[in-house]
Structure 1
Amino acid sequence: MKHPGRLLAGVAALALAAAAGVVVSRSGDGAGPSGGTAAALQASGSPTPAALTDAQKTARAREVDVLLARRATAVLKGDLKGFLASVDAKQPRLVARQRTLFGNLRKFGFSSLQYFTADSWDAPQLAQKHGPTTYSTRVMMRYRIAGLDAKPVQTDLGYTFVRRGALWILVEDGGIDEILTRDGHRQPWDFQEVAVVRRGKVVVVVDRRETGLGRKVAKVSEDAANAVRRHWPRSWNGSVMVVAMAEPRVMATLWTSGNGRGWTIAAKAVTLYEGEQLGKRFGPPVGSRIVVNPAMRKDLEQDLLVHEMTHVATVPIGPRAPLWLVEGLAEYVRCHAIEDDPQWTVDPYRRTVRSKYLPGMTSLPDRETFDQDGDKAYGQSWWTVEYLASRLGTKKLAALYADLAVHSTSTAAYTAILTKHTGKTPAELTAAVRKYRG
C-alpha cells in the first residue's frame, strides 16, 4: 500500500482567509471624519477615545468603511501607491510588510474583494503608544477568487490606526491579532512572498523560492482531484486551493492530534463558511482550503491529497454528517484511487483492519475514538463505508451522506436517517460491519 504512515487529516475546522489594511482620509473630501468626531478625538486627553458618543463612533466606522473600499479597489486595480498611501511612512518595516502583502494579494486573482469594519476593540497598550486618536478595529475581508470560490468567503483581521491632522494612518497590522478567529486569519498572503501556481482548476500556493515544488504539487493535486471525481458520484468541479508553504503559522493549523501518543497530520482540509467568523459558524460551509504540513510538503503523495480533496468535495453538502462517515468516505475514495494503479494494492490495510480493528468493534467510531486511537478509528470508518458501498452502491451511499449532512440534527434524527437508508440501526450496522469480510 502506497501509504506508509497514518498521515491523515481531521474534519474541517473553522476557518476563512484574511489580510488587508486601513486607508487614509482627508477632511473635506467627503470621506474624512466629521468636525464633531475629529474634534472629539483631538480634544480627548485620555489614552482612549472615551469622549466619543455612540453616534460619533458609528460615524467613524462608516467613514473608515468608505476608505476601506478604496483599499479594496487599489488591490483589484493594481494600484500599489493607493494601497500604501495610508501606511505610516515612519515605520519602514510596516511599509515593507504591506508592500509584500499587496504583491501577494495581486497574485490570487480576486473577482471580488471588500473590506469593512466589524467592531472596535479596546487596546489600552496601543492607545498608550499611539495617542488619544488610536482606533483598533476588527475588519472583515470578504472575497472571491476567480475560478475557485463558488461564493464569496470571509475572514477577520485586526488593524490599529490613528488620526494625524486630516489623515487616518495605519500604525499596527497585528496589534490585536489575539482577538481574531484562531484558525482563519493567518493566510498564505500574510507572510513572505508567495508563488501561485495554477493547473486546470487547482491553485497551489508555495514560497516564491519554491516555484518548482509548486508545479510538482499542482500536478499531484490535479491527479488527486480527478481521482475523487472518478470515485465520488456527486458533482464536484475539482476546484481547490492547496497551500504547501514552509511557514507553519498559515491558518494556525496544528500538526499533531489525538491523545496519548497522538498521530501526525500531513495535511488538513480547512473549511470556509459563508458569513462572519469569530469562533462560531454563522453560515453554511461553502468550500475548503487544503493546508499541507510544512515538514511534509516536499514528499506529498497523491493518495493523501485524495483523502483531503474528498473532504473538499463533500463539505459544501452540509456540516452534520457523523465523523465516521466523513472520514470513512475519504478513506474509501483514497483506497480506491490507490488501486486505480495496478502496481499498488491496499490489501495489507484490509488484512490489518480485519484482524486488528474489527474484532473489538462495539460501535461506530465517534470523536473520542478518533482522539484515543486514530488508526483504529480510521480503519473502522473505512470498513463501514466499504460495507455500505457494497450493499447500497455509491449513488445511494452519496444519498445517505447528503441526508445526514443536512438533516442529522439530533440523535433521533441520525438514527432515523441511517435506518431509512440502510435498514439498520447504528447498533445493527456495527454488527454487520464487524462480520463483513469484503
Structure 2
Amino acid sequence: MTPVRRRAALRLLALALCPLPAAGCADPAPRAPADDGAVRRAVADWSAAPPARLAGIPLEGWSYEVTSVRQSGVRAFARAELRYRLAGYDGAPASSAREVELARDGTAWRVTADRPAPGAVAQLWDQGEVAAVRGAHCLVLGAGQTPQALAALAAEADRAVPAVTAAWPRPWARRVVVLAPATLEAVAALLGRPADTYRGLGAVTTGSTGGGPAPADRVVVNPEGYPGLSEAGRRIVLTHEVTHVATRAATSASTPLWLSEGFADWAAYRQTATAPADGAPELARAVRRGELPGALPADGSFTFGGDPQATARAYGGAWLACRLVAARWGEPALVRLYELAGREPLPAALGEALGVDLPGLTAAWRQTLREELG
C-alpha cells in the first residue's frame, strides 16, 4: 500500500471508531474561563451600601473594589479592597483587604461570605454585633461590651481629648474613635499581632505615621488590662493614646521613641501632681541601686513582650526627659522639638528648638534623674 493510501485508510479507520466530534477520542474543548465579570458585578451589587447590621455606625464612602477573582466550580472567591470613612471622624479613607466568597445559583452569582483576606487584620464587625456610643469628642464602637461600659469609656475619652488639645495646640481632629473588643484575642485580631504582645496593656493606638491625615487611626482598648486600672490609671492610659492620635501627622520614622512615647506620657501627666518617683517607679528603683542610665532610652527599649521592668524604665525615662524639656525650655519648645524631630535629624531639631546638643540634653536629663529619683 502506498503511503498516500495508508494515510487515507488510517483516516477512515479513525472516523469509523470516532464518528462524532463529541466522542471520547476527540480533543477536549478548551475550558471556559471564569466568569470574572459576573462575579465582579455580583460583588458590586451586594456591596452597594453598608450591611443593615452596621446601621448604627456613621459610615460613608463604603465600597468594595475587586482586585482578583478565583473560580472553583460553582464557587468563586473575590479579593477586594474595602474602603470607607467614619463620617465626622476619619480624615482619610480607611481600607481593609477582604475575601468575598460567592456561590453560583443557576446562572447568577450570590455572595455567601465576607471575611478578612488571608493575612489581613479583622474589622470590629467581623467579631460580632457592634454597638456605637457617641460622646462630645469621641465615637466608641464596641463588640461584646455592655452599654454601661461603652458609655463610661466615652466619658473617659471626652475628658482625654481636651487634655490632649491643651498639650498639643497644633491642628488636629480633636475627636477620636475608640474600639472596645470583647477579648484580648479580639484585640490581637484587630491589630494583626500575637495576643501576648498586648497582654498587660491598657490600650494601644493604630494608624500610620507621616505628614497627612492618618487613615484608620483608632484607640483600641484591651478588655483584660483597661478595666483593672484605677480611675487615674485609665485617665493616664487613654490620654496617652489619644496624644498619639493627635500627634500622628507630625510623627515619622525619624522621631525617636523616647520623644514620641515621652511626649504622650507628659501630656497624660501634665495636669496631675504626679511625682517623678510615682510616675516612674521602676526607674526610681534602678537609680537608687546606682544604675543611672547612660543615655536616653533607645527605640528597642520600648518593645513589649520582653523584660517588663526594662520597658517600664524606658517609659519612665522618656517621660522625665520630656518633662525636663517642658520645665527648662518651656512647653512651646517641647512641641516645637516634636515637630522638628519628625522631619529632620534629632541633633538639628535639638539645636533649633532648644539650642542644645544631644550630649547636653542627656547630661541635663541624667542630673535630673539623680536629683529627683536618687
Please confirm whether the aligned pair reaches a TM-score higher than 0.5, indicating the same fold. Answer: yes
The DSSP-based 3-state class of the residue aligned with 1:319 is coil
- Aligned residue for 2:21? none
Question: Aligned partners of 1:65, 1:364: CA distance in 2, in Å?
Answer: 54
- Aligned residue for 2:67? 118
Question: Aligned partners of 2:96, 2:211: CA distance in 1, in Å?
Answer: 12
Q: How many residues align?
A: 326
1:246 maps to 2:182: yes
CA 235–392 in structure 1, closer or farther in 2 if over 3 Å, else same: farther
Deviation, 1:230, is 2.1
Q: 1:179 aligns with which of 119, 122, 125?
A: 119
2:201/2:225 contact within 8 Å kept: no
Which whole-Å deviations, capped at 9, do the CAs of 1:218-242 have from their partners, x for residues lacking one? Answer: 1111111122122222233421111
- Aligned residue for 1:386? 323
Question: Aligned partners of 1:403, 1:264: CA distance in 2, in Å?
Answer: 33
Deviation, 1:424, is 3.0
CA 393–192 in structure 1, closer or farther in 2 if over 3 Å, else same: same
| Equivalent position amino acid for 2:259 in 1 | L
**Structure 2 matches for 1:136-151, cutoff 5 A?**
136-151=77-92
Deviation, 1:245, is 2.3
| Equivalent position amino acid for 2:118 in 1 | E
1:334 maps to 2:274: no
Question: Aligned partners of 1:287, 1:380: CA distance in 2, in Å?
Answer: 30
Which whole-Å deviations, capped at 9, do the CAs of 1:73-110 have from their partners, x for residues lacking one? Answer: 332xxxxxxxxxxxxxxxxxxxxxxxxxx344222111
1:402 maps to 2:339: yes
Q: 1:192 aligns with which of 122, 128, 145?
A: 128
Q: 1:159 aligns with which of 91, 97, 100?
A: 100
1:302 maps to 2:242: no
1:194/1:207 contact within 8 Å kept: yes
- Aligned residue for 2:256? 322
The DSSP-based 3-state class of the residue aligned with 1:111 is strand
1:361/1:430 contact within 8 Å kept: no
Deviation, 1:289, is 0.6
2:54/2:130 contact within 8 Å kept: no
Question: Aligned partners of 2:148, 2:56: CA distance in 1, in Å?
Answer: 17
Deviation, 1:311, is 0.6
Question: Aligned partners of 1:338, 1:44: CA distance in 2, in Å?
Answer: 75
CA 319–168 in structure 1, closer or farther in 2 if over 3 Å, else same: farther
CA 421–282 in structure 1, closer or farther in 2 if over 3 Å, else same: closer
- Aligned residue for 1:313? 246
Question: Aligned partners of 1:283, 1:166: CA distance in 2, in Å?
Answer: 46
The DSSP-based 3-state class of the residue aligned with 2:101 is strand
**Structure 2 matches for 1:14-413, cutoff 5 A?**
51=33, 60=37, 64-75=39-50, 102-120=51-69, 131-132=72-73, 134-174=75-115, 177-180=117-120, 185-207=121-143, 210-247=146-183, 248-250=185-187, 251=190, 252-257=192-197, 264-271=200-207, 285-286=214-215, 288-299=217-228, 301-320=234-253, 321-339=255-273, 348-349=278-279, 353=283, 356-357=286-287, 360-371=292-303, 372=307, 373-405=310-342, 407-408=343-344, 413=345
Q: Which moved more, 1:191-200 or 1:102-111?
A: 102-111
Give the structure, 1 or 2, with the largest relative contact order (CA under 8 Å, sep 6 or more): 1
The DSSP-based 3-state class of the residue aligned with 2:220 is strand
CA 434–378 in structure 1, closer or farther in 2 if over 3 Å, else same: same
**Which structure is larger by alpha-carbon Rg, 1 or 2?**
2
2:144/2:182 contact within 8 Å kept: no
CA 431–297 in structure 1, closer or farther in 2 if over 3 Å, else same: closer
Deviation, 1:378, is 0.3
1:139/1:157 contact within 8 Å kept: yes
List alignment gaps of at least 5 residues for structure 1. Answer: 1-42, 76-101, 274-280
Deviation, 1:207, is 3.2
Deviation, 1:65, is 5.0
1:147/1:201 contact within 8 Å kept: no
1:162/1:171 contact within 8 Å kept: yes
2:47/2:64 contact within 8 Å kept: yes
The DSSP-based 3-state class of the residue aligned with 2:81 is strand
Question: Aligned partners of 1:172, 1:286: CA distance in 2, in Å?
Answer: 26
Percent sequence identity over matched residues? 26
2:165/2:174 contact within 8 Å kept: yes
| Equivalent position amino acid for 2:95 in 1 | Q
CA 430–403 in structure 1, closer or farther in 2 if over 3 Å, else same: same
Give the TM-score of the pair, scaled to structure 2.
Answer: 0.76
Which whole-Å deviations, capped at 9, do the CAs of 1:249-287 have from their partners, x for residues lacking one? Answer: 2414545449xxxx72121001157xxxxxxx9997345
